[in-house]
Amino acid sequence: MKKMSLLLGSVCLSLICATVSFASGTIKIGALFAVTGPASFLGEPEKRTLELLVKEANEKGGINGQKLEAVIYDTGGDATKAVQLATKLIKDDKVSVIIGPSTTGESMAVIPVAEKGKVPLISCAAGIKITDPAKHWVFKTPANDQVAAEKILTYMNSKRQKKIALLTVTDGFGASGREQIKALAKRKGFTVVADEVYSPKDTDMTAQLTKIRGIKPDAIICWGTNPGPAVIAKNVRQLGINIPLYMSHGVASKKFIELAGAASEGVMLPTGKLAIYDAVAKNDPQYKLLKSYDQSYKKAYGTEASTFGGYAYDAFLLATGAIKKGAKTPEQIRNGIEQSRKLVSISGIFNISPKDHNGLDLSAFEMVKIVSGDWALIK
């Protein structure tokens, strides 16, 4: 009888341990960021942000008793490498969700991998084609480039700047932005009087800008990510062009100001509220989160948080929001993300639906102007 009691006790103890072990299991979050290479200004803050959030979550006991593990790979901004690493995350690392990649080109390349592998992908890139049309397993956190383009054109319209000169980079992000601007311009009564492009590796755009200067547009819109836009800002200054210069949200970090130097003065662009949260009303639903993120990032890394790191923050919010509600499998996490409503984030307030896997609108952006080497809210 005594032996039986000991045996039953041992079995019960084993069951309890098994239950505890299950409850405290690990949820793997995969990530693909361009930590090195030309797009490192995107990938580095994304990587740092995800590592910080995972660390903070685990210090608080994880989520529903489950520890988080971030499996992060550096793509170097290379689409082929991103595909290889996405496959590794799904097949070898068995992750439940993937955050990233950092760029539009990489994201478009990885989409078929995520769809075939049936693992939710939350891209940190802005190209509208990533989620339009909606794909079952794919989401993204930056507002669509169409929204950013509309924000610029709305402001230009208020200034009666109707003749546009375009200067866009020939990568996925630039091609998408160019397409969206031209379509919106046509619908909203603008005229595209110049349509110039440049390569991501070009180091001088004076030829394109000289053509633009001769056409005399009301404004120039440059669409690209660093370092090209910084070169363009310098070329504009060197050529003595006094036409208003607008940039895309692809340069919404202090890195652009650092690269362009004095030539960044007066440049205008749409950006998320993080860059200028001190100027945001204290009762704004995003204010507390923006302030908390910036302070935590500064404490951890000694520098201010960037809009790009915020894209990874939002992806983490979307994924863990689903997990907090009981999602465990990739399918359950995907379903939970798709049901995200009124989710206050760094980039805006997400309202995701089966037909909209981005869920942000014009309210995600503010127009800013670079004044004395810093962002100034345009009111």
Give the per-residue pLDDT at 253: 87
Query: Cβ distance 354 to 134 under 8 Å?
Result: yes
**Backbone angle region of 200, left / alpha / beta, with phi > 0 → left and psi within -120 to 50 → alpha:** alpha
Q: pLDDT, tens digit, for every residue of 44-58?
A: 999 999 999 999 999
Q: What pTM does this model have?
A: 0.86
Distance CA 57, CA 62 (A): 5
Q: Please give the pLDDT value at position 160.
A: 97
Rounded distance between C-alpha atoms, residue 290 and residue 263, angstroms: 28
CB 326 within 8 A of CB 64: yes
pLDDT at residue number 16: 36
Query: 289: alpha, beta or left, given left = phi > 0 and alpha = psi -120 to 50?
Result: alpha
pLDDT of residue 170: 96
For residue range 272-313, what is the model confidence (pLDDT) as tens digits? 999 999 998 999 999 999 999 999 999 999 999 999 999 999
Beta strands in 89-162 (DSSP E): 97-99, 121-123, 138-140
Q: What angle do CA 55, 144, 53 make, to 5 degrees?
A: 5
Q: Check residue 128 and give its pLDDT.
A: 92
pLDDT at 45: 97
Instruction: Please report the pLDDT score of residue 356 as a whole number.
Output: 98
* 3-state secondary structure at position 239: coil
User: What is the distance between the alpha carbons of residues 24 and 8, in angstroms, rounded to a whole number?
Assistant: 24
What's the pLDDT score for residue 102?
97
**Other CB atoms within 10 Å distance of the CB of residue 26:** 12
CA 327 distance to own-chain centroid: 24
* Residue among 271, 89, 101 nearest 172 (CA): 101
Helix-helix angle 330-338:307-324, to 10 degrees: 110
DSSP state of 63: B
Low-confidence residues in the chain, pLDDT < 50: 1-23
Token digits of residue 353: 């639906």
Could you tell me the domains of the chain? 27-144+286-363 (3.40.50.2300), 146-277+365-377 (3.40.50.2300)
